[in-house]
A and B are shown apart, each in its own frame.
Chain A
């Protein structure tokens, strides 16, 4: 009996030991070669990184171009074309040691001159769209030696490394820029793992393997990024095998695809915050008690669980958890009783408000506004909900205070630098009031301005993060928005596809490590 038991034990142990090994040999055998078809919702706006401002453009650019510094999937900074960097004590001079032996796709060398060329371009007369990220901050760059660059700032800037990791910080071949000028957008030349082949507008971009890539030869031979506008068409393309990778899967389709053994569905938290901006210039929203009451009235847990089926994160303040600098603070709990009390104290036990929302610009935007509308009704705030097409919505929510009757309006913001200073400064600083800036609710507070400025000028990470924490504390207390949630990005792949990057900036792309089963 004992022997049998012992035998059983040995067999079980052997079995247990063998199981993960069997799994490993089957699943981790990286395959080389093959083409991957990636279906995305819109055409790139440009393939010149300094002129690109949409996610469909940025994610294609990130396969062909690289920055000095990049984000990893957890939004931490890591070396890319720069191997290391140091800052002077006053935070004004940044020295980058560059990776040696890197070549652009056109065969020219990547070196300190190419980096200086990048700064000369964004600071110069050409003024590409994204130059505005760098012009307020950077004075200029100088070549120290072929593999060392020094960048001089106009003032200390706490988030400097983040603007260098921004998609617009990609280093383009100077030779290509000189050759193509304005048409660089159609002839991109970078150092990335994939080289440009063709762009058939409205249809697809094709890239091929860059055999000379410094990080090793990429596994995939080709990547074809197709523009497929209709959500349902993308899902059907995945199911029919016409696409290997699709983005923005509608929430309703997730359970069905998850059940199918042929597909993997990834739901990744993002840096985007969705919120309802409050026009504080309109009465009674100038009263902080009213704004706080609106925040207490909303049941965010129910929104995350039911409306988003858990494909969203709760956001307590103006900054979402995946923005660098997010501070874990208690936000507004769901407390309709307290909401009613505050409204009564402010002298508005019943209130009629206008609520605006776009439809289809953000995941479930209009449904989200409807959920808020119901919650508000429960505390005696009757909201009339209306929508506008996105182009008109952008204009209507930016009109100056004296020309608008907007009150509450839903917006989303994903700071493309991945950090909280860019998640708050453009939206809440009093120097950024609409129509000039993006402070569309006209919130202005000296204390908040000071805290944001402190974060802007910080010379250490510690002081930057401390100041940003203060920014979030003040913002939560002052409640310039109804704080809501952060929607996940939902990406589906065939089970054959491995090592896709889903960056929380809502960018999905492939690297030299991505591969596909034969």
Chain B
């Protein structure tokens, strides 16, 4: 097991190298000059030249990449062109917001999705099943922007239950977590339903029922645990998507997360910020996938990692 985890951890290195090359190439392919955006329309050529020089933007691209890579290997993510702050500091300030949000959202979707999926599967073709299917279809299709603004209109402006954006208290996180969790819960509900239907057909479920076990134990201990593997995979993927996709939720609800840091960094052509953030997000993605794989072994003892 430990050997397996170590091997997987080592695999992060080529992944990060790929991400670095990819994001560097993409960013520099996009037209636009960070100095021009930073210094504004009124800036003189002298000021622009100084900004370019200060951040090494006047050097050839391969040299810029080499410098970036050299620094990154020593754990230095560089200095933001916009704010002149270390990128590592900016990420450390912003990433916790996104992690917390993605976590809460996956929690929301786990509870909603799994419960809805199980109920739908056990009452197949009933009205409840139909309702759950319909709700999940709507949940997948609703744009986050629209849903977020609608939730704010209803729960902040009309009912005044939750604040309209910002952060600080637990109440601030309710709406964003619901909005971000909505589409994940729909995906998880569908996966749970399908996986449960599969398992419920198995012989051991019939045996469990024949033994006279209570229905609840049959469903949750015998069936759901066996149905969990594909659901877990979806959990891992959805969590990753939430990390990257949180930007819309962060924008609507004015949360200073890493999604907004990346998008604002792209608009400003703040290369170090975007590259650094991509590395951190990619690392998290890989770690979450690893965690999912390890969790398989917990739900299915037959799975062993040698």
- Report which A residues bind B (CB closer than 8 A): 39, 45-46, 53-54, 127, 129, 132, 182, 185, 200-204, 226-230, 232-233, 236-237, 239-242, 388-392, 394-396, 398, 411, 413, 416, 426, 435-438
Contact = CB atoms under 8 A, between A and B. Distances in A.
Contacts of B152: 233, 236, 240
B275 to A, nearest CB: 16
Given A391-B267, A392-B32, A395-B32, A201 B90 contact: yes
Given A230-B251, A394-B32, A395-B36, A242 B163 contact: yes
Contacts of B83: 45-46, 185, 201
Contact of A236 (B38, B41, B156): B156
A105 to B, nearest CB: 22
A236 B164 contact: yes
Contacts, number: 127
B283 interface: no
B254 A228 contact: yes
Nearest to B167: A203
Contact of B256 (A200, A233, A242, A390): A200
B94 A242 contact: no
B45 A395 contact: no
**CB-based closest 8 A-B pairs:** A202-B256, A391-B32, A240-B156, A203-B256, A240-B164, A392-B31, A53-B40, A228-B254
B94 A394 contact: no
A392 B30 contact: yes
B45 A232 contact: no
Contacts of A390: 37, 267
A394 B251 contact: no
Interface in B229-260: 251-254, 256, 260
Contacts of A416: 42
Given A182-B84, A236-B152, A237-B164, A394 B36 contact: yes
Interface in B77-115: 82-85, 90, 93-94
Interface string B44-75: 11110010000000000000000000000000
Contact of A129 (B43, B85, B261, B267): B43
Interface string B19-38: 00000000000111100111
Contacts of B167: 203
Interface residues of B, number: 46
Contacts of A200: 93, 256
Contact of A426 (B33, B37, B42, B264): B42
A226 B256 CA distance: 11
A436 B164 CA distance: 45
A240 B90 CA distance: 30
A436 B267 CA distance: 23
A201 B30 contact: no
A240 B165 CA distance: 10
Nearest to A417: B42
Contact of A241 (B37, B94, B160, B254): B160
B209 to A, nearest CB: 52
B143 interface: no
B216 to A, nearest CB: 42
Given A392-B31, A395-B33, 20 more contacts: A39-B254, A129-B39, A132-B47, A185-B84, A200-B256, A201-B85, A202-B93, A203-B167, A204-B166, A228-B165, A230-B251, A236-B165, A237-B164, A239-B164, A240-B163, A241-B160, A389-B32, A395-B31, A398-B36, A437-B44
Contact of A229 (B94, B149, B254): B254
Contacts of B42: 53, 416, 426, 438
Contacts of A438: 41-42
Most buried by A among B31, B37, B41, B47: B41
A233 B150 CA distance: 10
B180 to A, nearest CB: 15
A411 B42 CA distance: 13
Contact of B149 (A226, A236, A391, A396): A236
Contact of A233 (B30, B37, B85, B254): B254
A396 B31 contact: yes
B15 interface: no
A159 to B, nearest CB: 14
Nearest to A438: B41
Given A132-B46, A182-B84, A391-B37, A236 B254 contact: no
B44 A201 contact: no
A186 to B, nearest CB: 8
Most buried by A among B50, B149, B157, B164: B164
B157 A239 contact: yes
A227 B254 contact: yes
Nearest to B267: A391
A414 B2 CA distance: 62
Contacts of B264: 202
Nearest to B248: A230
Contacts of A45: 38, 82-83
Contact of A436 (B41, B45, B166, B252): B45
Interface string B124-163: 0000000000000000000000000100110011001001
A233 B252 contact: yes
B193 interface: no
B269 interface: yes
21 contacts: A39-B254, A53-B40, A127-B50, A129-B39, A202-B94, A228-B165, A228-B254, A230-B254, A232-B149, A233-B251, A236-B153, A236-B165, A237-B156, A240-B160, A242-B156, A242-B163, A395-B32, A395-B36, A411-B41, A435-B45, A436-B45
Contacts of A39: 254
B268 interface: yes
B164 A233 contact: yes
Contacts of B165: 228, 233, 236-237, 242
Contacts of A53: 38-40, 42-43
A226 B93 CA distance: 16
Most buried by B among A46, A132, A233, A394: A233
A167 to B, nearest CB: 12
Nearest to A131: B47
Given A129-B39, A233-B252, A391-B267, A242 B164 contact: yes
Nearest to A37: B166
A232 B264 CA distance: 18
A468 B193 CA distance: 75
B99 to A, nearest CB: 15
A388 B253 CA distance: 27
Contacts of A182: 84
Contacts of B30: 391-392
B269 to A, nearest CB: 6
Contacts of A46: 83
A72 B84 CA distance: 33
A421 B32 CA distance: 28
Nearest to B90: A201
Nearest to A224: B166
A129 B156 contact: no
A54 B41 CA distance: 10
Contacts of B267: 389-391
A394 B166 contact: no
Nearest to A396: B31
